[in-house]
């Protein structure tokens, strides 16, 4: 075998090895991509998508829908930050412990199921405790009405209005959070939305803006 033949043979072997390497790399990427898709699908199955719909144009009362079925109703008091959450036919009381300050409470037949506190008077955020777990609900940014739900530093859910000129919103929370707690979290977001609306209308927040000042992050 002469030098030219040797070079051709080495070149061919190099090309074959390169093609094998490329095919193996593509196969691995495909497996990884498919695993990613599967993980995403599994994660989505562990979430519940809800839609929050106002009962009328000017109302702060809402129906909470899962697909086409109403699973809860939110009735908000006009003169204080309190109300009634009806979840699967059961009435839960929600209220603030004090007129100008204090925790926000979810109560059933006199038993406190959850409570939420604002970590900072000037931030749109709550620290929520339910069934021994702690969550944070906070505005996505200073200029948005979207709220994020966090478990520690990990984002696990979102509550987002469907548009600027509507009070409809979509809610995407983990399945592991029971429905009464989800509706309580939605009510907390509604409280902050109502404060912002009252402030922008020049009427003042329902508690006089005692811990919020009308809405900055």
Quick one: 101 and 168 in the same domain? yes
Q: How far is the C-alpha of 187 from the C-alpha of 32, rounded, in Å?
A: 40
Please state whether the predicted TM-score (pTM) of the whole model is above 0.95: no
Query: Bridge-partner residues for 169, per DSSP?
Result: 52, 161
- pLDDT tens per residue across span 86-99: 999 999 999 999 87
If asked whether residues 39 and 53 sit together in one domain, one would say: no
- For 185-204, the pLDDT digits (tens) are 999 999 999 888 877 776 44
Check whether residue 129 and residue 188 sit in a common domain. yes
Let me know whether 1 and 53 are in one domain. Answer: no
pLDDT at 44: 47
Q: Do 40 and 55 fall into the same domain? A: no
What is the dihedral sign for C-alpha 217, 104, 184, 201? negative
Q: What is the pLDDT of residue 202?
A: 66
Q: Check whether residue 41 and residue 53 sit in a common domain.
A: no
CA gap 144, 147 in Å, rounded? 8
pLDDT score recorded for residue 142: 81
- Are 97 and 127 part of one and the same domain? yes
Residues 154 and 183 in one domain: yes
pLDDT tens digits, one per residue of 28-43: 333 332 333 233 444 5
> Which residues of the chain fall short of a pLDDT of 70?
1-45, 202-217
The secondary structure of 118-163 as a DSSP string is -SSTTSSEEEEEETTEEEEEEESSTT---EEEEETTEEEEEEEES-
Do 17 and 84 belong to one domain?
A: no
**Domain that residue 14 falls in:** 1-45
Instruction: Assess whether 16 and 108 both reside in one domain.
Output: no
Total domains in the fold of the chain? 2
pLDDT of residue 48: 84
**Lookup: tokens for 194:** 């109502």
Q: Are 113 and 175 in the same domain?
A: yes
Q: What is the pLDDT of residue 1?
A: 52
């Amino acid at each position: 075998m002469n030098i030219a033949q040797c070079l051709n043979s080495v070149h061919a072997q190099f090309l074959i090895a390169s093609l094998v390497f490329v095919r193996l790399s593509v196969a691995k990427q495909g497996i990884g991509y498919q695993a990613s898709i599967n993980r995403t699908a599994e994660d989505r199955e562990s979430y519940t998508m809800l839609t929050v719909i106002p009962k009328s144009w000017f109302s702060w009362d809402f129906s909470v829908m899962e697909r086409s079925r109403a699973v809860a109703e939110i009735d908000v008091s006009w003169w204080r930050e309190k109300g009634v959450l009806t979840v699967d036919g059961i009435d839960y009381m929600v209220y603030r412990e004090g007129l100008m300050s204090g925790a926000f409470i979810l109560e059933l037949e006199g038993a406190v199921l959850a409570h939420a506190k604002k970590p900072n008077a000037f931030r749109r955020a709550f620290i929520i405790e339910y069934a021994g777990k702690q969550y944070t609900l906070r505005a996505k940014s200073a200029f948005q009405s979207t709220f994020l739900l966090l478990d520690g530093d990990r984002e696990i859910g979102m509550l987002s209005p469907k548009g600027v000129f509507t009070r409809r919103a979509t809610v995407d929370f983990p399945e592991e959070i029971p429905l009464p707690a989800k509706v309580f979290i939605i009510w907390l977001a509604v409280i902050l939305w109502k404060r912002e609306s009252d402030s922008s209308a020049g009427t003042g927040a329902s508690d006089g803006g005692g811990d919020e000042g009308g809405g900055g992050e």
